[in-house]
Amino acid sequence: MPSSSRLHQGKENGKRRCVKMRDNCSFLTDNSINSAQSPPPKLSKESEFDLSSAYVPAFGGDSFLELPTLRHVGRAFAIELWFLALEPDGILLYDGQGSNGDGDFVYLGLEGGRLALRFDLGGGAVAAVTEEAVELGRWHAAAAGREGTSGWVRLDAGREAKAEAAPGLTELNLQTPLYLGGVK
- For the stretch 123-160, pLDDT in tens is 999 999 999 999 999 999 999 999 999 999 999 999 99
Mean pLDDT over residues 47-62, rounded?
A: 65
In this predicted model, what pLDDT tens digit does every residue of 56-71 receive, in sequence order?
778 877 888 899 999 9
Q: In which band, very low, low, confident or very high, does the pLDDT at 101 lie, cut at 50, 70 and 90?
A: confident
Determine contact, residues 153/117, Cβ cutoff 8 Å: yes
Domains of the chain: 12-180 (2.60.120.200)
100 versus 143: which is more confidently predicted?
143
Written as one letter, the residue type at 75 is R
Read off the pTM. 0.73
Determine contact, residues 119/144, Cβ cutoff 8 Å: no
**β-sheet with 150-155: strand ranges across:** 76-84, 139-147, 150-155, 161-164
